[in-house]
Amino acid sequence: MKWEIFHRTSYTYASPVRESFNEARLQPFSDEWQTVDHFLLKVLPAARLQHYNDFYSNVVHRFEIPEPHTSLLVESQLRVTTRPREVLLESATPWPLAKIAVAASEPRIFDFLQESRFVDLSPEAWRLAMDATAGIPDAWQATLAIRRCVHRDFAYVPQATTVHTHMRDVLQERRGVCQDFAHVMIAMCRTLKIPALYVSGYLATETASATHAWVEVFIPGVGWRPLDPTHNCGPDESYIKIAVGRDYADVPPLTGNYKGTTDRKMKVEVAIKPWS
């Protein structure tokens, strides 16, 4: 499918701020499942954009605005083509859970087995994972059981959390949004030695266009496979991946710092539509 995506973030400050240094992760990378056909990033006040690929191969744009300003606009426009993913059947049993430790020997896996800023490998997460996968001998089947558990046992409540909410708080309150569901699933998988990473992106539906978060798990002999605990499904062509990391701390769409007032207002707009 072909998608056109508009993403605007605007800040308004109560008094002038200065020396603003920022990084944006808004440009998806092309892979076997998606191709970026066009990307344009606009910043006001006008700033020189530099870009690089971070440790996880995400495209990062860096810019700075040293002069005083009372507003900041960051706007991205992109066109992307998504393709059907190779399907791993939910009935498949490709790798024994008892032998999942071999995954740690694969290249670039280490980070996705460890604790990270928003993910603890706590006894609570381990207990929840053990209960969800009781009697399941296959690693892939175990991840599906974890996905179902998170979807079933945690309530989706908009604005119940913020981007700074830690997984431990979500475990306690049993509610949150897609970011929180992804963090809980990642923690549960990692406590069982199943590598899991965080994915940020967009999800286009008939009723809404929004940023979204889901999970990818690594199964030996199969590779990385996406799972969405929020919707209890496997991502399809309506999912557009922007960036990956250990958790949300590695992939925020826009982050930075400045000197000046903390009294500010932020507005985010996302619009997604098909194009041909």
Q: Which of 129, 127, 122, 73 minimizes the C-alpha distance to 97?
A: 129
Question: Any bridge partners for residue 60, and if so which?
Answer: 52
Please tell me the predicted confidence (pLDDT) of residue 206. 65
Average pLDDT over residues 171-198: 98
Q: What is the pTM (predicted TM-score) of this model?
A: 0.96
- C-alpha to C-alpha distance for 58 and 239, rounded to whole angstroms: 17
Phi-psi region at 248: left, alpha or beta (left = phi > 0; alpha = psi -120 to 50): alpha
Give strand ranges (E) for 48-142: 50-53, 59-65, 69-82
Confidence of residue 85 (pLDDT cuts 50, 70, 90): confident
Q: What is the pLDDT of residue 101?
A: 96
pLDDT digits (tens, 9 = 90+) for 207-218: 667 799 999 999
pLDDT for residue 276: 83
